[in-house]
Amino acid sequence: MYNKSKGKGASNPSDDWEALRSMFPTNFGMEKPKKKYDWFETDSKKNKEEEKKNSNKKEEEIKSNKEKPIETEIPQSEPTKKEQKDDDEEIDERIPKDDDSDDDYNIELNYKTPPVSHEVQLKGHTKMVSALSLDPSGSRLATGSYDNYVKLWDFNGMDMSLKSFRTIEPEEGNQIVDLKFSNSGDQILIATNGSIPRLYDRDGILIEEFIKGDPYLQDMRKTKGHIQALSSCMWHPYDKQLFMTSAADSTVRIWDVNQKRSHKEIIAVKSKNRGTKTRISSAVFNLTATNIAVGAQDGIIRIYDPRSTSRPSISIEEAHMSGSDIGSLEFSRDGSLLLSRATDDTLKLWDIRHISKPLFVERDLSCFYSETNAIFSPDEQYVLTGTSVKKEDGPGQLKIYYTQGAPLDLNGNDKEKEKSDKHHHHHKKKGHRGKSFDEAYSLDVGLHSVVKIAWHQRINQILVGNGDGSTYVLYDPEKSINGAKLCANKQPRKKKVDEYEFISRSNGQIYNPHAIYKEESGYSTKRKREKLRNDPVASHHPEMPLNGPGRGGRVGTNYTHYMMKYIMKDTTHDEDPRAALLNYAKQAEENPYFIAPAYKKNQPKPVFDESELDEEELTREVKRRA
């Protein structure tokens, strides 16, 4: 390698260098170009120096601010405001545009007065609505009925026609008893009048069917599933992999979603009458899953600890009349209060810490169905239940009771009564005011019995399942959010021009309305016929059936065919039995074989009267013998 700088004893080094470099086609011997990111190294050094200066300044500011008073309000920085706007825009894109939904997020949820000023009727079932459930967001509704079907409703996708988007039949011939959306809203648990619980996704597609128990086993603890009709179902409050079912086989079972071949835990309820079983009509968790309340047909409410299910930790004897179904149990949020509804026409509120006497009893609430439930309002200021009626007695009623007394202002006036009188002219209230457990509202809903009730906390709307097969959604435009508000005034989508079909009813031809009309000539059919004749495929003569020996394209036969044809063929059905017997008459007379030869010597010969009589003589003889 030659040196580019001039040195001692070097004659014309530049010429030699240029000559050597010209021999290579590459950049040999040239100076290396600067790196593309050399500027980054210089800038990074400058940034480090600036960061040190800024950190020194911040330390000085912190020292100086220690002497100043601390401000309570923290101003929001600009980036967080932008992020908030972006989040709001994303939420607005997800929510369908509607007149009522624009100001929904500005509404403060208020549960002091029930949202019952407006009503939407969802028709679809032909018999009583026995079960209903809303997903946690309040956008999708599932209803079950005695007509054996489950219908799914989507408030975001529905219009004023109010039609369900899917109908499923979990088990043919079995009524729907209960159904629940999961806590995440992606699965639906359905209990029918059969013994098999089923799991569906939120679109109505079957995910899993769980096992049925062995009905021949006497010990229910050894069975892997229910053996009699289900009565209720419920998801675990916080574990999305577990759910609970109760049935008429006197058991409550806890299942794992991923284990369909057997239950995970079982509670075998012992009847107060020894040697007998009692029908379990309801079973519920409290909010923390530390207690399981079980209502049985013997009138006893039992409360179990999930850690030890051999015996109940609390037993409320004679909670309801023996023989009646305790179809509804519900804990309060703190788990101290328990609400029960039974077919003995009573509604009771219990304090599980003092079970000697109920806190509240309401009688004469007619109840024909074990699916009739009772619930707390979201703020637990009210208790709601429904009444049953016969078809000729008019509509059932939605009863709403105070749990802690009506709210009063400083002058002693009832605020809720004044507001309700303005908006709800069809509501009746009792004359009492401000006392605990007084009747707050009594609403006529539907045409028949009020069976199932749900008050959704997020959308602040009340859903009522009626005996006429309809589900009624009660809401208040000023206090409710989304839900039925989205579809109550939503017009159906207009069809586009491309979606219409212009098809003639006579010949099924399709006409183009924008094309020039051209009448068909009389020679068109003849030309078509000639074209078909010239087509070798369309005018191909069909092949004649096979003649001669063989069958099905095969010459000859096999042993099975021979047996079926000659030996095993039964022709007795094609013969006349009388003609077959007469064929042997002449042969039996000429060549007797069985009885006649034995009595041939001493058997007298029959002598017949072969004389012929006239008609008159024949009639006389008949009359004489008669």
Model confidence pLDDT, tens digit, residues 128-149: 999 999 999 999 999 999 999 9
pLDDT the model gives residue 408: 37
Flag whether pLDDT at 367 surpasses 80.
yes
* pLDDT for position 108: 64
Is residue 623 included in any domain, yes or no? no
Q: How many CB atoms lie within 10 A of CB 393?
A: 11
Please tell me the predicted confidence (pLDDT) of residue 279. Answer: 92
Q: What confidence category does residue 601 fall into, taking pLDDT thresholds of 50, 70 and 90?
A: confident
pLDDT tens-digit map of 156-169: 888 888 899 999 99
202: which 2 tokens?
């939120």
- Classify residue 607: in a domain, yes or no: no
**225 touches 263 (CB < 8 A):** yes
In a domain, 140, yes or no: yes
**Is residue 43 domain-resident?**
no
Q: Is 418 left (phi over 0), alpha (psi -120 to 50) or beta?
A: alpha
* CA separation for the pair 21, 271 (Å, rounded): 107
Asked if the structure places residue 321 within a domain, the reply is: yes
| 429 pLDDT tier (thresholds 50, 70, 90) | very low
Instruction: For 231-281, write each residue's pLDDT tens digit.
Output: 999 999 999 999 999 999 999 999 999 999 999 999 999 888 777 889 999
Residues 19 and 393: their CA atoms lie apart, in Å, by: 118
The mean predicted confidence, pLDDT, of the chain is 77
- For 371-387, what is each residue's pLDDT tens digit? 999 999 998 899 999 99
Residue 270 lies in a domain: yes
Q: How far apart are the C-alpha atoms of 110 and 117, rounded to whole Å?
A: 14
The reported pLDDT for the residue numbered 586 is 78
Print the SS3 string covering 276-288: CCCCEEEEEECCC
For the residues 170-178, what does the mean pLDDT come to?
92
Distant-in-sequence, close-in-space partners of 235: CB < 8 Å, separation ≥ 6:
180, 182, 183, 189, 242, 243, 244
Domain, as residue range, for 291:
118-407+433-489
Residue 580: CB atoms within 10 A of its CB come to: 10
| CATH number of the structural domain spanning residue 263 | 2.130.10.10
Residue 576: predicted pLDDT: 83
Would you state the pLDDT for residue 161?
Answer: 86
Tokens of 20: 């050597």
Q: What is the rounded distance in angstroms from the CA atom of residue 594 to the CA atom of residue 621?
A: 38
In a domain, 190, yes or no: yes
pLDDT at 348: 93
Has residue 17 been placed in a domain? Answer: no
**In the chain, how many domains are there?**
1
510 vs 229, residue with greater confidence: 229
